[in-house]
């Protein structure tokens, strides 16, 4: 899905300090620049943060996108507040009839980022509704701050994205997950996290069996860490999650309770996506051909920022309306998008 790989266009000026004012602007801008072939200039990167400019994780992400599309970056250094991505578009090789493989290395379970299990169990099945199909092989789990995780992603090319309508949540039919420890941490911590999570969920959902096994990660884990992820599935195929990672000095019961309360919060509003998937779907809605509608909870600042950038870099148009049906809460909304209809000209 790209424009002509040789297309030249004037750069789109993006203010990196508006709205969320952080990494979200960088992520969405770089992804859409790569797909559409639009040159972008991002100024005032993270200007309002205590440590302005690019941090290591932002630089790594930008460099990854640049390498994928054989592009060039200007201002790509830690602390930089001005970034230029001249006329980039995914190379034709990624649009052939063969699958493309990419090995990502770093931390698969890190602070301030979704656990890799979220990508596999929540993100993957939901974006497949747009017609995107990929495999994600977790070869090694890496824990903050040591890292060392390794994931191989195999992506199948697609002609165009189809619009998605997710407005019926249905009933929660399944709750499961994993509580884990790695490295030198004792197995008992995983059992205690699981038990605390189950107790918390049982206060609101009593009729379902909750399966959160405790696991000791040994051979395929790098570093010391512990955490939990809990998945809920609905009768209409919606998927939600709550997760938390262990922190020094924090009782593991609190970690289990945190993940459980996060999950419960994301299913109370009767929407079809959780607060973390909500903003990640904006790019797909913007690129799809036709009108997408997604029922969700309160619209996050990350989502508002993604919409702002998507409308700058594509022809997509978004509207957000309050959901008024009998199943809605005060925090239930419909995000609608008339997509730009991006086409992969190499298929």
Q: Which residues of 305-342 are buried (b: 16+ CB within 10 A; e: fewer)?
A: bbbbbbbbbbebebeeeebeeeebeebbbbbbbbbbbb
Judging by DSSP bridges, how do beta strands 214-217 and 172-182 pair with one another?
parallel
277 is in an annotated binding site: yes
* DSSP 8-state code for residue 47: T
DSSP labels, 199-245:
HHHHTT--SS-EE--EEEE-TTEES-EEEEEEEEEETTS-EEEEEEE
**In terms of residues, how long is the chain?**
347
What is the C-alpha to C-alpha distance for residues 138 and 146, in angstroms, rounded to an integer?
Answer: 17
What is the C-alpha to C-alpha distance for residues 71 and 163, in angstroms, rounded to an integer?
Answer: 29
Is 308 in the active site? no
Catalytic-labelled residue, pool 58, 133, 269, 302: 302
304 is in an annotated binding site: no
312 is in an annotated binding site: no
What is the C-alpha to C-alpha distance for residues 117 and 140, in angstroms, rounded to an integer?
Answer: 12
101 is in an annotated binding site: no
Half-sphere exposure at residue 125, Cβ-oriented, CA atoms within 13 angstroms: 18
What is the C-alpha to C-alpha distance for residues 83 and 79, in angstroms, rounded to an integer?
Answer: 11
What is the C-alpha to C-alpha distance for residues 255 and 13, in angstroms, rounded to an integer?
Answer: 42
82 is in an annotated binding site: no
Residue 88 near residue 66, CB atoms below 8 Å: yes
* 259 to 16, 59, 213, 231: CA distances (angstroms): 31, 29, 14, 10
Judging by DSSP bridges, how do beta strands 317-322 and 333-338 pair with one another?
antiparallel
Outline where DSSP puts E strands in 235-332.
Answer: 239-245, 291-296, 317-322
Tracing tokens 């009767």 back to the chain, one arrives at: 270
Residue numbers belonging to the annotated binding site for ATP: 276-280
Residue numbers belonging to the annotated binding site: 276-280
Q: Which residues are catalytic?
A: 302
């Amino acid at each position: 899905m790209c424009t002509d790989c040789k297309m030249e266009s004037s750069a789109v000026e993006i203010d990196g300090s508006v709205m969320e004012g952080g990494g979200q602007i960088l992520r969405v801008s770089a992804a859409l620049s790569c797909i559409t072939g639009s040159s972008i200039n991002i100024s005032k990167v993270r200007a309002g943060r205590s440590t302005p400019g690019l941090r290591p994780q932002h630089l790594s992400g930008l460099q990854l996108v640049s390498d994928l599309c054989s592009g060039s970056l200007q201002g790509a250094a830690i602390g930089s507040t001005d970034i230029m991505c001249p006329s980039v578009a995914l190379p034709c090789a990624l649009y052939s009839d063969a699958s493309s493989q990419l090995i990502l290395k770093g931390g698969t379970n890190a602070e301030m980022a979704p656990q890799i299990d979220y990508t596999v169990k929540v993100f993957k099945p939901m974006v497949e509704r747009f017609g995107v199909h990929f495999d994600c092989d977790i070869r090694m789990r890496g824990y903050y701050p040591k890292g060392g995780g390794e994931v191989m992603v195999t992506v199948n090319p697609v002609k165009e994205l189809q619009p998605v309508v997710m407005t019926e949540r249905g009933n929660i039919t399944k709750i499961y997950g994993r509580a884990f420890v790695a490295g030198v941490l004792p197995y008992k911590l995983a059992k205690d996290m699981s038990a605390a999570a189950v107790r918390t969920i049982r206060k609101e959902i009593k009729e379902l069996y909750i399966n959160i096994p405790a696991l000791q990660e040994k051979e395929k884990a790098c570093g010391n860490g512990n955490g939990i992820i809990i998945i809920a599935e609905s009768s209409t195929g919606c998927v939600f999650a709550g997760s938390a990672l262990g922190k020094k000095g924090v009782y593991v019961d609190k970690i289990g309770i945190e993940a459980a309360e996060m999950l419960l919060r994301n299913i109370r509003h009767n929407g079809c996506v959780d607060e973390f998937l909500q903003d990640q779907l904006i790019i797909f809605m913007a690129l799809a051909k036709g009108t997408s509608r997604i029922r969700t909870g309160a619209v996050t600042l990350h989502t508002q920022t993604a919409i702002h950038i998507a409308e700058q870099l594509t022809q997509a148009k978004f509207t957000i309306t309050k959901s008024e049906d009998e199943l809605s809460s005060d925090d239930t909304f419909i995000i609608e998008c008339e997509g730009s209809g991006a086409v992969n000209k190499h298929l």
